[in-house]
Protein backbone atom coordinates (compact mmCIF):
# COMPACT_ATOMS: atom_id res chain seq x y z
CA UNK A 1 0.00 0.00 0.00
CA UNK A 2 2.55 2.55 -1.21
CA UNK A 3 -0.15 5.10 -1.89
CA UNK A 4 -1.43 5.19 1.69
CA UNK A 5 2.11 5.42 3.04
CA UNK A 6 2.74 8.38 0.76
CA UNK A 7 -0.40 10.11 2.02
CA UNK A 8 0.58 9.46 5.63
CA UNK A 9 4.04 10.85 4.96
CA UNK A 10 2.64 13.97 3.36
CA UNK A 11 0.35 14.46 6.36
CA UNK A 12 3.28 14.03 8.71
CA UNK A 13 5.37 16.58 6.83
CA UNK A 14 2.69 19.29 7.08
CA UNK A 15 3.47 22.53 8.80
CA UNK A 16 0.98 24.77 10.57
CA UNK A 17 0.51 27.15 7.66
CA UNK A 18 -0.33 24.30 5.30
CA UNK A 19 -2.68 22.79 7.85
CA UNK A 20 -4.56 26.06 8.21
CA UNK A 21 -4.87 26.52 4.47
CA UNK A 22 -6.25 23.00 4.20
CA UNK A 23 -8.75 23.67 6.96
CA UNK A 24 -9.91 26.66 4.93
CA UNK A 25 -10.23 24.48 1.81
CA UNK A 26 -12.39 21.99 3.70
CA UNK A 27 -14.47 24.82 5.12
CA UNK A 28 -14.94 26.28 1.64
CA UNK A 29 -16.12 22.96 0.23
CA UNK A 30 -18.61 22.50 3.05
CA UNK A 31 -19.96 26.04 2.93
CA UNK A 32 -20.29 25.89 -0.87
CA UNK A 33 -22.42 22.75 -0.54
CA UNK A 34 -24.53 24.46 2.11
CA UNK A 35 -24.92 27.58 -0.05
CA UNK A 36 -26.03 25.55 -3.07
CA UNK A 37 -28.64 23.73 -0.97
CA UNK A 38 -29.95 26.91 0.68
CA UNK A 39 -29.91 28.67 -2.70
CA UNK A 40 -32.04 25.86 -4.15
CA UNK A 41 -34.48 26.27 -1.26
CA UNK A 42 -34.79 29.99 -2.04
CA UNK A 43 -35.26 29.46 -5.78
CA UNK A 44 -37.71 26.55 -5.49
CA UNK A 45 -39.69 27.89 -2.53
CA UNK A 46 -39.78 24.39 -1.11
CA UNK A 47 -38.15 23.39 2.15
CA UNK A 48 -36.78 20.26 0.48
CA UNK A 49 -36.07 21.12 -3.17
CA UNK A 50 -34.79 17.64 -4.10
CA UNK A 51 -36.06 14.28 -2.84
CA UNK A 52 -35.14 10.69 -3.55
CA UNK A 53 -37.90 8.20 -4.32
CA UNK A 54 -37.90 5.47 -1.67
CA UNK A 55 -40.83 3.27 -2.59
CA UNK A 56 -42.36 1.50 -5.57
CA UNK A 57 -45.73 3.22 -5.26
CA UNK A 58 -45.24 5.46 -8.32
CA UNK A 59 -43.82 2.80 -10.66
CA UNK A 60 -43.26 2.75 -13.58
CA UNK A 61 -43.01 6.54 -13.62
CA UNK A 62 -40.68 6.89 -10.70
CA UNK A 63 -38.49 4.06 -9.51
CA UNK A 64 -36.61 3.62 -6.28
CA UNK A 65 -33.49 5.77 -6.37
CA UNK A 66 -34.78 8.34 -8.85
CA UNK A 67 -34.40 11.97 -7.89
CA UNK A 68 -37.19 14.53 -8.06
CA UNK A 69 -36.93 18.30 -8.04
CA UNK A 70 -39.67 20.11 -6.22
CA UNK A 71 -41.15 23.58 -6.39
CA UNK A 72 -43.65 25.21 -4.10
CA UNK A 73 -45.43 28.27 -5.43
CA UNK A 74 -48.61 30.12 -4.55
CA UNK A 75 -50.38 28.45 -7.46
CA UNK A 76 -53.37 26.38 -6.41
CA UNK A 77 -53.04 22.60 -6.23
CA UNK A 78 -54.84 20.75 -8.98
CA UNK A 79 -55.54 17.12 -9.87
CA UNK A 80 -52.81 15.24 -11.68
CA UNK A 81 -49.94 17.05 -10.02
CA UNK A 82 -47.38 14.92 -8.24
CA UNK A 83 -46.96 16.34 -4.76
CA UNK A 84 -44.74 15.52 -1.82
CA UNK A 85 -46.60 15.63 1.46
CA UNK A 86 -46.04 15.03 5.14
CA UNK A 87 -48.55 13.29 7.34
CA UNK A 88 -48.75 14.27 11.01
CA UNK A 89 -46.97 11.62 13.04
CA UNK A 90 -44.92 10.22 10.13
CA UNK A 91 -41.35 11.24 9.56
CA UNK A 92 -40.94 10.21 5.90
CA UNK A 93 -42.53 12.43 3.22
CA UNK A 94 -44.57 10.70 0.51
CA UNK A 95 -44.54 11.38 -3.27
CA UNK A 96 -47.97 10.69 -4.79
CA UNK A 97 -50.40 12.07 -7.35
CA UNK A 98 -53.41 14.27 -6.58
CA UNK A 99 -56.67 12.64 -7.71
CA UNK A 100 -59.31 14.83 -6.03
CA UNK A 101 -59.46 18.52 -5.18
CA UNK A 102 -62.21 20.47 -3.44
CA UNK A 103 -61.48 24.17 -3.07
CA UNK A 104 -63.62 26.00 -0.51
CA UNK A 105 -65.17 29.23 -1.68
CA UNK A 106 -65.06 31.13 1.64
CA UNK A 107 -61.61 30.25 3.00
CA UNK A 108 -59.75 29.26 -0.17
CA UNK A 109 -58.53 26.16 1.69
CA UNK A 110 -58.25 23.00 -0.39
CA UNK A 111 -59.16 19.41 0.41
CA UNK A 112 -56.85 17.12 -1.50
CA UNK A 113 -56.83 13.35 -1.95
CA UNK A 114 -53.75 11.57 -3.30
CA UNK A 115 -52.91 8.13 -4.67
CA UNK A 116 -49.77 6.34 -5.86
CA UNK A 117 -49.95 5.41 -9.55
CA UNK A 118 -48.92 1.85 -8.70
CA UNK A 119 -51.23 1.48 -5.70
CA UNK A 120 -54.72 0.04 -5.99
CA UNK A 121 -56.37 2.24 -3.38
CA UNK A 122 -56.14 5.91 -2.54
CA UNK A 123 -53.97 7.20 0.30
CA UNK A 124 -56.56 7.51 3.08
CA UNK A 125 -55.00 4.48 4.79
CA UNK A 126 -51.64 6.31 4.85
CA UNK A 127 -53.04 9.49 6.35
CA UNK A 128 -53.34 10.08 10.06
CA UNK A 129 -56.15 8.31 11.89
CA UNK A 130 -59.55 9.61 10.72
CA UNK A 131 -57.93 12.08 8.34
CA UNK A 132 -59.86 12.21 5.06
CA UNK A 133 -58.11 15.02 3.22
CA UNK A 134 -54.72 16.67 2.91
CA UNK A 135 -54.55 20.44 3.24
CA UNK A 136 -52.14 22.96 1.88
CA UNK A 137 -49.88 22.94 4.94
CA UNK A 138 -49.25 19.19 4.53
CA UNK A 139 -47.79 19.69 1.07
CA UNK A 140 -44.06 20.33 0.82
CA UNK A 141 -43.80 20.79 -2.93
CA UNK A 142 -44.85 19.61 -6.37
CA UNK A 143 -42.54 17.59 -8.58
CA UNK A 144 -41.37 19.52 -11.64
CA UNK A 145 -38.23 17.69 -12.76
CA UNK A 146 -36.83 14.22 -12.79
CA UNK A 147 -33.35 12.68 -12.86
CA UNK A 148 -33.08 8.87 -12.96
CA UNK A 149 -30.78 6.78 -10.71
CA UNK A 150 -28.98 9.73 -9.09
CA UNK A 151 -30.63 9.09 -5.73
CA UNK A 152 -28.98 5.68 -5.43
CA UNK A 153 -25.92 7.48 -4.04
CA UNK A 154 -27.87 8.60 -0.99
CA UNK A 155 -29.87 5.35 -0.78
CA UNK A 156 -26.69 3.27 -0.63
CA UNK A 157 -25.11 5.62 1.88
CA UNK A 158 -28.11 5.60 4.19
CA UNK A 159 -28.57 1.84 3.97
CA UNK A 160 -24.89 0.94 4.28
CA UNK A 161 -23.27 3.42 6.68
CA UNK A 162 -19.90 1.67 6.29
CA UNK A 163 -19.66 2.94 2.72
CA UNK A 164 -20.57 6.44 3.87
CA UNK A 165 -17.68 6.49 6.36
CA UNK A 166 -15.30 5.02 3.77
CA UNK A 167 -16.22 7.72 1.25
CA UNK A 168 -15.96 10.54 3.79
CA UNK A 169 -12.64 9.15 5.02
CA UNK A 170 -11.24 8.85 1.49
CA UNK A 171 -12.33 12.37 0.60
CA UNK A 172 -10.79 13.69 3.81
CA UNK A 173 -7.46 11.99 3.05
CA UNK A 174 -7.58 13.31 -0.49
CA UNK A 175 -8.02 16.90 0.67
CA UNK A 176 -5.37 16.57 3.40
CA UNK A 177 -2.81 15.10 1.03
CA UNK A 178 -3.27 17.79 -1.60
CA UNK A 179 -0.04 19.74 -2.12
The catalytic site residues sit at 57, 96, 123
Query: Binding to another protein by residue 9, rule CB under 8 A?
Result: no
Query: Binding to another protein by residue 137, rule CB under 8 A?
Result: no
Contacting residue, 5, 17, 74, 80, with another protein by CB under 8 A: 80
Query: Binding to another protein by residue 130, rule CB under 8 A?
Result: no
The beta-carbon contacts of 146-154 under 8 Å, at least 24 apart in sequence, are 146/62, 146/66, 146/67, 146/68, 146/69, 147/66, 147/67, 147/68, 147/69, 148/63, 148/66, 148/67, 149/65, 149/66, 150/65, 150/66, 150/67, 151/52, 151/53, 151/65, 151/66, 151/67, 152/65, 154/52
Q: Could you tell me which residues are beta bridge partners of residue 67?
A: 52, 147
Which residue lies nearer to another protein by CB, 145 or 172?
145
- DSSP letter for 71, please: E
Contacting residue, 45, 148, 169, 172, with another protein by CB under 8 A: 148
**One symbol per residue from 84 to 103: x for binding another protein (CB under 8 A), - otherwise; what is it?**
-------------x-xxxxx
Which range, of 18-26, 38-46, 47-55, 80-88, touches another protein by CB under 8 A?
A: 80-88
Binding residues for another protein, rule CB under 8 A, total 30
Q: How many CB atoms lie within 10 A of CB 166?
A: 12
| CB 104 to another protein: min, Å | 6
Q: Are 49 and 40 in contact (CB under 8 A)?
A: yes
Binding residues for another protein (CB under 8 A): 3, 60-62, 76, 78-82, 97, 99-106, 111, 117, 122, 143-148, 174, 179
Amino acid sequence: MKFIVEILNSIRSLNVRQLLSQAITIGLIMSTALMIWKGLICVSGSESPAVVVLSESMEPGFQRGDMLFLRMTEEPIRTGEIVVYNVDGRSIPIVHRVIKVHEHRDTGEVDVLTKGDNNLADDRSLYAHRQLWLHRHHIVGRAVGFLPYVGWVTLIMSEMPVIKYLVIGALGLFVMAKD
